[in-house]
Amino acid sequence: MLCPFCNYVISKDRLIVEKERTIVILSNPRLVPGHLLVIPKRHAFRISELDKEERAELFDTLVEFEKKIVSFASGCDVRHNYRPFIPQGRVKVDHVHFHLLPREDKDELYQKSMIFEADLFRELPEEERMQYEKMFK
């Protein structure tokens, strides 16, 4: 399957900004109004595959647009997913990108999915914490 970001013809209706190594577009489908995608121009599956200059521009752009979003919204979720176990399709793209989501208390995204968030998180047992400590040291 062709990468929709590499083969993306930048249309003026969705393009917010184009930089040397990064583009920012309105997401489609979007989760919330103002949902943006920040995408490196060069194809990479993982953040670690980007060079130092690409990472710098990408993260500087994330910070720039997070500031813009919090100027009109109460908050901003910044998300990145790396899920190679899910096949690329209409919703999942195998090209590094970040979602910037303007957020408000009890917005539509909260009502549809994040309301269940509290039930997902629970205390980490000591034995499990020690297991992870060993894995990541």
Tell me the per-residue pLDDT of 64-79, one tens digit each, with 9 for 90 and over: 999 999 999 999 999 9
Q: Which domain holds residue 131?
A: 15-136
Read off the CATH number of the domain in which 44 is found: 3.30.428.10
Backbone angles phi, psi at 119, to 5 degrees: -75, -20
How buried is residue 38: exposed, middle or buried, by Cβ count under 10 Å (0-12/13-18/19+)? Answer: buried
Domain presence at residue 34: yes
**Total structural domains within the chain:** 1
Q: What is the DSSP letter of 79?
A: E
Tell me the per-residue pLDDT of 79-130, one tens digit each, with 9 for 90 and over: 998 888 888 877 788 999 999 999 998 888 887 777 777 777 778 889 999 9
Domain presence at residue 7: no
Domain presence at residue 2: no
Domain presence at residue 20: yes
